[in-house]
Amino acid sequence: MTVIVRAVRPEDGAAAEGFARVRRAVLPHMISNAVALTYDLVHAAPEAHFVLLVAEQDGEIIGAATAAVADFSPTPGVGMANVYVHPERRGRGAGSLIVRAAEEHLAAHGVRSVFSWVLDEPGYRAFAARRGYQPRRAGHFLRLDLTDGALPPRPAPAADVTLATGADFADDPRPLFDLDAETIADEPSDVDVEFTRYEQWLSDTWRHPLASPELTTVALVDGRPAAFTLARTDAGTQYATVMTGTSRAFRGRGLARLCKSESLHRARSAGYTVAFTSNDADNGAMLAINGWCGYAIAATEVRYVRELG
Tell me the pairing of strands 238-246 and 274-280.
Answer: parallel
Residues 6+ apart with CB under 8 A from 309: 107, 112
- Of 62, 52, 292, 268, the C-alpha closest to 145 is 268
- The pLDDT of residue 176 is 97
- Of 182, 178, 185, 201, the C-alpha closest to 73 is 185
- The pLDDT of residue 1 is 75
- The pLDDT of residue 150 is 79
pTM for the model stands at 0.94
List b or e across 238-248, with b for residues whose CB sees 16 or more CB atoms inside 10 angstroms: bbbbbbbbbbe
- The pLDDT of residue 235 is 84
* Torsion, Cα of 65, 66, 68, 71 (10° steps): -150
Rounded distance between C-alpha atoms, residue 40 and residue 268, angstroms: 27
Which residues of the chain have a pLDDT value below 70?
none
- The pLDDT of residue 189 is 87
